[in-house]
Amino acid sequence: MEPIKGRIWVFGDNIDTDQILPGYAMAEAAANLGRFAMAGSKMPDFSSQVKPGDIIVAGKNFGGGSSREQAPVALRAAGVSLVIAPSFARIFRRNSINIGLPVLLADIREHVKTGDWIEVDLAAGTIRTADKVLAGQPLAPTVLATVQAGGLINRVRQELGITD
């Protein structure tokens, strides 16, 4: 898999699913969820500024709260290519991988700021900033395969040879 390169957005600790995708947006069609990404956070204008390929760098416990599976869908629909944090709520992490949105365990907030560009190798777990190489936890081969396929359903379809 090619490295992911993007501009970063830095968020704090305990960004829950209500901040990622507020409850009032839950009735929206999946195609529209990106317009509401991070609308409940301290950066409510995120969705109007995020560009395809941008990366979220956050603190601990990203995605906590409800098991709202639309939260990672909203991030991906907004153009987010990767979320990096030192810890994730288990259900958020699994939902992200299942839709093909990679999540990388690493604590890099003290080394970066919003607007910086980084390059991330998911298989190696390396994060390159302008002047450093930082370490994250490499994705397991099964997780990497799921992300590369674009999510769990696509991966299973590929493995079963379903092409329709």
Task: State the DSSP string of 34-69.
Answer: GGGTTTTSS-TTHHHH--TT-EEE--SSBTBSS--T
Tell me the mean pLDDT in the region 19-39.
93
| Predicted pLDDT at 93 | 96
When pLDDT is cut at 50, 70 and 90, the band that residue 30 belongs to is confident
Q: Hey, which bits of the chain come out as E strands?
A: 4-10, 55-57, 82-85, 103-105, 117-121, 126-128, 133-135
CA–CA distance, 45 with 122 (Å, rounded to integer):
28
Residue 66 has pLDDT above 90, yes or no: no
Nearest to 71 by CA among 111, 106, 30, 105: 30
Per-residue pLDDT averaged across 38-60, rounded?
96
| Two structure tokens written together for 136 | 């994250």
- Mean predicted confidence (pLDDT) in 93-116: 97
Element (H, E) at 74: helix 70-78
Beta bridge partners of 10: 57
- Domain range summary for the chain, segments of one domain joined by +: 4-160
CATH topology of domain 4-160: Aconitase; domain 4 (3.20.19)
Residue for token pair 């609308």:
39
The reported pLDDT for the residue numbered 75 is 97
Residue 38: pLDDT over 80: yes
